[in-house]
């Protein structure tokens, strides 16, 4: 099975690297600067689950055009449009596209561009980042990638994927309810990234502060109310469940969005909080805290743009 991974960043580098490490036929589709880095240094994973050092197969856009069996998409949402055009050269009749982005809005873009039948659901739980040398650094144990047929159930092709993923040093989990899993993760990440960026703190200090737990729950409830208003298949107890998961994170746990802010990088505010706010406005759902969270991110974006211009 031929696998193409677009983006050799924190997520694509990790999961694609784990597949290549087990001997799968994996090629990374990268941009020029990243290619040079990977050619010089190899793909290095430094992880609590075991280190790896590989010389990956690499392509840049437009090179080696042929259909792949599986295209794994691991960009940030603000690079999605360009990435979608880049992978178009590698999509054939039977190609499966497995996106690993946070959020949900990208699923419709992918379906519109490539046809619903090619698009699987996917999400991941991992705390990983690239260091200044481009190595993938993974610091906590979770390394779960969940995937499945968008319409649910089991199919022959996801059984083939299970075989592909078997034995890799990461948990690849097939779900028969991937839409629900994605909406649940979306609620979790919107709350986690919202609270940690708003408070400019990891989970521990938020949890210990006067109103931290209450505000976390309020944000999760606002997000759940939007999801219910649009008919998302979330569980009745999703707020209890995800607030509990949030509050049980390690003291220093931060969303990747806060880590990106600390590095002065762009954030996925429009894709995550912005998309939900637009759904809230369209459906008359009151979300005062989500609006504050979103505005805080927009202020960050304005300050970032100004500092780049200066
Ligand atoms: N990091 C984490 O802990 C987690 C992240 N996520 C989600 O996963 C997604 C990916 O995040 P993450 O891996 O952290 O992001 P990174 O920024 O680390 O990686 C994204 C990679 O995509 C590459 N890229 C962007 N556009 C293109 C393109 N047109 N062609 C080729 N490569 C491209 C970038 O390359 P270049 O170097 O050229 O810029 C970069 O290496 C996000 O939606 C994020 O929210 C989900 C769970 C955990
Ligand atoms: C919460 C976490 C680490 C889970 O994978 C995540 O998705 C993120 O920070 O972007």
Q: Of 176, 197, 229, which closes a domain?
A: 176
- 258 Cα to the center of ligand 1, angstroms: 15
- The confidence score (pLDDT) of residue 170 equals 98
Together in a domain, 6 and 71 = yes
Exposure string for 79-101, b = 16+ CB within 10 A, e = fewer = bbeebbebbebbbeeebbbbbbb
Exposure string for 198-232, b = 16+ CB within 10 A, e = fewer = bbebbbeebbeeeebeebbbbbbbbbbbbbeeeeb
Q: According to DSSP H, which parts of 200-287 are helical?
A: 203-208, 212-229, 238-247, 256-262, 275-283
Together in a domain, 196 and 165 = no
> Does the structure's ipTM exceed the value 0.95?
yes
Measured from the alpha carbon of residue 143, the closest ligand is 2
- The confidence score (pLDDT) of residue 307 equals 87
- Ligand 1 atom at minimum distance from 128 CA: 3
Which residue ranges of the chain lie beneath pLDDT 70? 309-310
- Please write the tens of the pLDDT for every residue from 249-286: 999 999 999 999 999 999 999 999 999 999 999 999 99
Say which CATH number the domain at 235 has: 1.10.1040.10
- The confidence score (pLDDT) of residue 308 equals 74
Q: Of 125, 156, 176, which closes a domain?
A: 176
Whose CA is closest to 261, among 218, 300, 233? Answer: 300
Q: Is the CB of 9 under 6 A from ligand 1?
A: yes
Residue 186: how many other CB atoms lie within 10 Å = 22
Domain count, the chain: 2
**Per residue, what are the HEC states of 18-42?**
HHHHCCCEEEEECCHHHHHHHHHHC
Together in a domain, 9 and 153 = yes
Whose CA is closest to 26, among 49, 6, 46? Answer: 6
What is the rounded distance in angstroms from the CA atom of residue 245 to the CA atom of residue 52?
29
* 174 touches 166 (CB < 8 A): no
Together in a domain, 221 and 142 = no
Together in a domain, 159 and 205 = no
- 158 Cα to the center of ligand 2, angstroms: 24
- The confidence score (pLDDT) of residue 309 equals 62
CA torsion sign for 181, 184, 186, 192 is negative
Residue 42: how many other CB atoms lie within 10 Å = 15
- 213 Cα to the center of ligand 1, angstroms: 30
Which amino acids are annotated catalytic? 185
- 257 Cα to the center of ligand 2, angstroms: 8
Give Cα separations from 290 to 181, 220, 243, 247 (angstroms): 21, 9, 15, 19
* 45 touches 80 (CB < 8 A): no
Q: Of 141, 176, 211, which closes a domain?
A: 176
* Residue range(s) defining the domain that contains residue 228: 181-309
In this prediction the pTM is 0.96
Q: What are the φ/ψ torsions at residue 47 (nearest 5 degrees)?
A: -145, 145
- The confidence score (pLDDT) of residue 77 equals 98
CA-nearest residue for atom 9, ligand 1, is 101
What is the rounded distance in angstroms from the CA atom of residue 282 to the CA atom of residue 11?
32
Q: Is the CB of 193 under 6 A from ligand 1?
A: no
* 105 touches 275 (CB < 8 A): yes
CA torsion sign for 259, 220, 73, 18 is positive
Q: Is the CB of 135 under 6 A from ligand 1?
A: no
Residue 209 is given by DSSP the state S
CA-nearest residue for atom 1, ligand 2, is 255
* 257 touches 197 (CB < 8 A): yes
């Amino acid at each position: 099975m031929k696998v193409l991974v677009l983006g050799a960043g924190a997520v694509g580098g990790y999961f694609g690297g784990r597949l290549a490490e087990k001997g799968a036929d994996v090629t990374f589709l990268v941009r020029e600067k990243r290619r040079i880095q990977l050619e010089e240094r190899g793909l290095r994973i430094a992880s609590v689950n075991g280190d790896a050092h590989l010389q990956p197969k690499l392509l840049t856009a437009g090179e080696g055009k042929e259909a792949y069996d599986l295209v794994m998409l691991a960009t940030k949402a603000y690079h999605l449009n360009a990435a979608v055009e880049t992978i178009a050269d590698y999509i054939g009749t039977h190609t499966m596209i497995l996106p690993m982005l946070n959020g949900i809005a990208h699923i419709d873009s992918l379906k519109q561009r490539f046809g619903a039948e090619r698009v699987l659901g996917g999400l991941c739980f991992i705390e990983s980042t690239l260091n200044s040398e481009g190595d993938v650094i993974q610091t906590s144990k979770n390394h779960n990638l969940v995937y499945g047929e968008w319409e649910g159930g089991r199919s022959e092709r996801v059984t083939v994927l299970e075989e592909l993923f078997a034995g890799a040093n990461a948990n690849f989990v097939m779900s028969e309810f991937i839409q629900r899993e994605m909406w649940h993760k979306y609620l979790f990440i919107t709350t986690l990234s919202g609270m940690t960026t708003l408070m400019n703190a990891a989970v521990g200090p938020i949890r210990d502060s006067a109103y931290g737990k209450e505000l976390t729950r309020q944000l999760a409830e606002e997000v759940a109310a939007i999801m219910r208003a649009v008919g998302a298949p979330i569980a009745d107890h999703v707020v209890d469940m995800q607030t509990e998961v949030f509050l049980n994170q390690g003291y220093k746990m931060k969303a990747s969005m806060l880590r990106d802010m600390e590095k002065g990088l762009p954030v996925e505010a429009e894709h995550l909080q912005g998309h939900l706010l637009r759904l809230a406005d369209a459906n008359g759902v009151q979300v005062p805290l989500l609006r504050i969270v979103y505005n805080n991110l927009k202020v960050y974006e304005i300050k970032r743009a100004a500092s780049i211009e200066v």
